[in-house]
């Protein structure tokens, strides 16, 4: 008797995936700074939340620090894609550091919104994750006007000065659906709650979440390549599970794959967070091929064409400026 055919094993690869325009700009900025000005280039905080990217840049001469106080006077320091509070810029200036700002322009947009609404005496409800670098930076723009909202449960307890002057903003890398749930809860409390002029959750976060939902509908297992401290990558795993994927895991690279996850799995969905380089996805594809998943298809849910120009400081001779400062010229941090 003929055996029934064994169903083919395959991988569905999400597109778009991986590096967004803000991450690409920040990583390229460190590489260009090293080329132009030589090592070391100090970088405050991980330039993007990916272990592999950080290690690769360290090998090229970048030194990652958590505070500007760790940077020797007269050095060049770059601010990461997540942005910094004005206090950090002021500290750098006081210490005579030369700065390069690799803050993603979409994070800068949220900072500007915060400043504008604070000037107009709004109370700002910032939806985001406590302790995340981006939230610390945005909150620092108007600490007296901003209250952090972690989720719908916080909506019940938050107090504002004037219920007719309240606006919500958000971290750029949240789950779109969960954020709208929080906004709904806030609107129940404050019917006059103002929304920002355009979405704060960035195009790349939204596109990667749309893609992972599509994978969840077609695959028994979804693998997201990204680091554990990458907010947008962690959200992608959550979104996959909420969208009905029977299983979803975050892996740093191919070594993170556990072959037991693949028992009974015919179709694996594969995608990557906005800070994960494509070489890591290639490694996962090779590992999956070894495990019998050689047929690879693509699920495209958006086209991305956005690019950002490099930080303007990279067009100047920063080393010459820094040595001018040590001779008494005014600094530009």
* Near ligand SF4 by CB under 6 A: residue from 20, 76, 219, 239: 20
How far apart are CB 316 and ligand SF4 at their closest, in Å? 23
Among 134, 141, 214, 313, the one annotated catalytic: 134
When the beta carbons of 13 and 104 are compared against ligand SF4, the nearer one is 104
| Segments in the chain forming alpha helices (H) | 21-37, 51-60, 86-94, 105-119, 133-139, 152-155, 176-189, 203-218, 231-242, 278-290, 318-326
Task: Decide: is 274 part of the binding site for ligand SF4 (CB under 6 A).
Answer: yes
User: Apex CA 33: angle with CA 17 and CA 172, to 5°?
Assistant: 35
How far apart are CB 308 and ligand SF4 at their closest, in Å? 8
Total chain residues near ligand SF4 (CB under 6 A): 15
Task: Decide: is 285 part of the binding site for ligand SF4 (CB under 6 A).
Answer: no
Alpha-carbon span 196 to 200, nearest angstrom = 8
How far apart are CB 106 and ligand SF4 at their closest, in Å? 4
Stretch that binds ligand SF4, among 200-208, 210-218, 279-287, 314-322 (CB under 6 A): 200-208
Task: Decide: is 173 part of the binding site for ligand SF4 (CB under 6 A).
Answer: yes
The pair of structure tokens assigned to 145 is 């006007």
How far apart are CB 127 and ligand SF4 at their closest, in Å? 15
The pair of structure tokens assigned to 148 is 């952090």
Contact of 57 with 35, CB cutoff 8 Å: no
Instruction: Map residues 67-96 to x or -, x wherever contact with ligand SF4 holds by CB under 6 A.
Output: --------------x---------------
When the beta carbons of 20 and 268 are compared against ligand SF4, the nearer one is 20
For residue 81, the SS3 value is coil
Taking CA atoms, 253 is separated from 14, 19, 239, 249, 308, in Å, by 16, 15, 20, 11, 27
Told to judge if 214 belongs to the known catalytic residues of this protein, a careful annotator would answer: no
* Near ligand SF4 by CB under 6 A: residue from 12, 21, 29, 251: 21
Alpha-carbon span 174 to 181, nearest angstrom = 12
Taking CA atoms, 169 is separated from 85, 185, 276, in Å, by 16, 14, 26
When the beta carbons of 21 and 43 are compared against ligand SF4, the nearer one is 21
Alpha-carbon span 76 to 92, nearest angstrom = 10
Task: Decide: is 205 part of the binding site for ligand SF4 (CB under 6 A).
Answer: yes
Let me know if 313 is exposed, middle or buried by CB neighbors in 10 A (0-12, 13-18, 19+).
buried
Task: Decide: is 22 part of the binding site for ligand SF4 (CB under 6 A).
Answer: yes
Instruction: Map residues 121-160 to x or -, x wherever contact with ligand SF4 holds by CB under 6 A.
Output: ----------------------------------------
Contact of 47 with 23, CB cutoff 8 Å: no
Please state the length of the chain: 333
Stretch that binds ligand SF4, among 88-96, 99-107, 210-218, 319-327 (CB under 6 A): 99-107
Alpha-carbon span 169 to 126, nearest angstrom = 5
For residue 2, the SS3 value is coil
Q: Give catalytic residue positions.
A: 134
The site for ligand SF4 (CB under 6 A) is made up of 20-23, 81, 104, 106-107, 172-173, 202, 204-205, 232, 274
């Amino acid at each position: 008797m003929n055996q029934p055919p064994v169903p083919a094993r395959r991988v569905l690869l999400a597109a778009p995936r991986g590096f967004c325009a803000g991450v690409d700009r920040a990583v390229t900025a460190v590489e260009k700074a090293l080329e132009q000005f030589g090592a070391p280039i100090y970088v405050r905080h991980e330039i993007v939340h990916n272990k592999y990217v950080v290690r690769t840049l360290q090998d090229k001469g970048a030194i990652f620090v958590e505070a500007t106080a760790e940077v020797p006077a007269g050095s060049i320091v770059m601010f990461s894609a997540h942005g910094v509070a004005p206090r950090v810029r002021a500290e750098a200036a006081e210490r005579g550091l030369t700065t390069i700002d690799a803050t993603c322009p979409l994070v800068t947009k949220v900072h500007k919104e915060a400043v504008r609404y604070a000037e107009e005496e709004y109370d700002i409800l910032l939806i985001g994750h406590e302790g995340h670098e981006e939230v610390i930076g945005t909150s620092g723009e108007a600490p007296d006007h901003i209250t952090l909202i972690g989720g719908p449960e916080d909506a019940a307890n938050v107090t504002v000065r004037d219920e007719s002057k309240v606006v919500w903003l958000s971290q750029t890398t949240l789950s779109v659906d969960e954020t709208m749930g929080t906004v709904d809860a806030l609107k129940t409390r404050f019917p006059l709650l103002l929304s920002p002029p355009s979405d704060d959750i960035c195009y790349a976060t939204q596109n990667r979440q749309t893609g992972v939902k599509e994978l969840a509908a077609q695959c028994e297992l979804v693998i997201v390549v990204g680091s554990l401290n990458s907010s947008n990558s962690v959200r992608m795993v959550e979104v996959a599970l909420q969208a009905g994927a029977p299983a979803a895991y975050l892996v740093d690279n191919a070594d993170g794959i556990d072959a037991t996850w693949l028992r009974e799995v015919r179709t694996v969905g594969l995608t990557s967070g906005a800070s994960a380089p494509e070489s890591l996805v290639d490694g996962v594809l090779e590992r999956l091929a070894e495990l019998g998943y050689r047929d690879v298809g693509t699920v495209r849910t958006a086209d991305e064409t956005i690019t950002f120009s490099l930080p303007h400081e990279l067009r100047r001779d920063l080393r010459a400026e820094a040595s001018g400062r040590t001779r008494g010229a005014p600094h530009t941090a």
